[in-house]
Amino acid sequence: MDFEMTRNKKLYRFVLAAILSALIVVMTVVPFTGYISYGGIIEITTLHIVVIIGSVFLGWKYGAFLGGVWGLSCVIRALVYSGIPAYVPFINPMVSLVPRVIVGIVAGLAAGGLLRTKMKPVFSVAIAAAAGTLTNTLLVLSMYYLFGGMIDSISAVFELFKTIVMTVISLNGGIELAAAVIIAPAAYTALAKAFGTRERKSENR
């Protein structure tokens, strides 16, 4: 019986990861879902929310996998739209792939730790979502500067720091952060009711 229950848990977690992976691909392809652009200048992404939800509910290992799917889809998107200068740096996996994998790991580990505490799950997931979102902003911009050859002096490092802060407090940065903090806890609650709360102590190690 225990073996059967374990196998069923593994199966539904695998299926859920597959569904979320497919959702990432679909949202990358379908306009104004995974990437919402305004006037070709402002672009808001919602894909980090999918990765964070998977990380929180399935654990950091699946989070890393989902982040990898997001990163690969980002590389392909950049190749398809390579005629747009702003997309070109994202062809480099260090800019688009590695940060997204780490986002999944950070969100999963943060949730795994917080969900073991007496804090209400909704707040634990909200904090994990914020951590994942900010990690994405920090790493993507840092890699963008580093591999774009823009970090070559102390002043350039200061400029990077200022850019990161301005991105976080900007309209699109604020929307991405707020959306993750609101949607991820709601999605976690719905999934927990549908599938049963996962074994937090073991799956996030």
**How confident is the model over 160-203, as pLDDT tens digits?**
888 888 888 888 899 999 999 999 999 999 988 887 654 444 44
Residue 98 has pLDDT above 50, yes or no: yes
Alpha helices for the chain (secondary structure H): 2-29, 47-58, 60-80, 93-96, 98-114, 121-147, 154-169, 171-195, 200-203
- Could you tell me which of 197, 30, 174, 63 has the C-alpha nearest to residue 121? 197
| Mean pLDDT on 116-142 | 96
- Give the predicted TM-score (pTM) of the model: 0.89
With bands split at pLDDT 50, 70 and 90, how would you rate the model's confidence at 75?
A: very high
pLDDT at 205: 45
pLDDT digits (tens, 9 = 90+) for 101-110: 999 999 999 9
Structure tokens at 180: 């993750």
**Alpha-carbon gap, residue 197 to 110, rounded angstroms:** 17
Q: What is the mean pLDDT of the chain?
A: 88
